[in-house]
Structure 1
Amino acid sequence: MSIGHTLLGLLESGPRHGYDLKRTFDDKFGHDRPLHYGQVYSTMSRLLKNGLVEVDAIEAGAGPERKRYAITDAGITDVEQWLAQPEKPEPYLQSTLYTKVVLALLTGRSATRLLDTQRTEHLRMMRSLVERKRRGDLADQLICDHALFHLEADLRWLEVAAARIDRLASEVRA
């Protein structure tokens, strides 16, 4: 995810302080991985340097000065271009899981046990996501569906790999 573009998009609704941007980001996108304040401010500094945001106001407070940022026309154009560009599909041709299966076979370890352990972990995660989806709003339901569909595809791959494990073992050990 492009944090810079996401923060720019959030600024389109109006100027905000860094802590407001963090709170909104975390609420909308950061359920599992909230932003650190330092990440927000370093990103805003970079966007300011690149002319995509400007300081709308500086307010004195009990602590350090608080800057309120506003998106510039160049920032709006940048967000429009980013949103219009399709994301590259990720084929996962060099996945860590595949690497672990091959290494297990090459080193004489049980790839079947590895696949079973991974299947158990995927199912645990899927149960957790189904529960989160059940309790969540529509946005949370959609992000959970996205993750669940990927996990389902992984489960299908785990089944295929398990069915072919003997043949794969012969090929990688040859």
Structure 2
Amino acid sequence: MAEIFTLPERGDTVSAPDGKHAAHALPRPGNVPDDMWYAVESVHRMRRLEGVEYREIQVPTAMADFGIGIELSCEGGTGASSQQPSAWIMVLYARTPRLDWGSRWRCVAFMSVAIERAERDCLTASMFLDDLSDHLSDVVPDSVGGTVTLTENRSFGAIGQEESSGCEMRV
């Protein structure tokens, strides 16, 4: 596995004067490049949202020399189902710039959310993609790629008759 950095639990953070959460100082491993360490510290200092649970996830060495991965989950809203929206994001760092990345850095992410069956039509995937694009800034054109997948699940047999629809995005 790549070098993994632990995201502190809510109890391990303190409130800064500006109301944001500030992490306690972390011991820095000796072999971590400065740029990667700054990324780790920025994740530890990020503002935490109420109702969102943050967990560390492993970054495989096949993906990068170093990385930090965070899984996020929150309570579901009303209607769609009891499924909770969830996501993960990884910031990856290679000691040597990679041609396929065009950089030392890469950010990869996944999101899954339940949607009402009635909300799923031929425009749904485009609407999710447009919403993502609206939230990106300072991005080089054509540097972001990924997929939007609409899901439809139906259980059978001993599990019972449950149906659900959703949307998954991979960037």
Point out the structure with the larger helix share: 1
- TM-score normalized by the length of structure 2: 0.27
| Greater strand content | 2
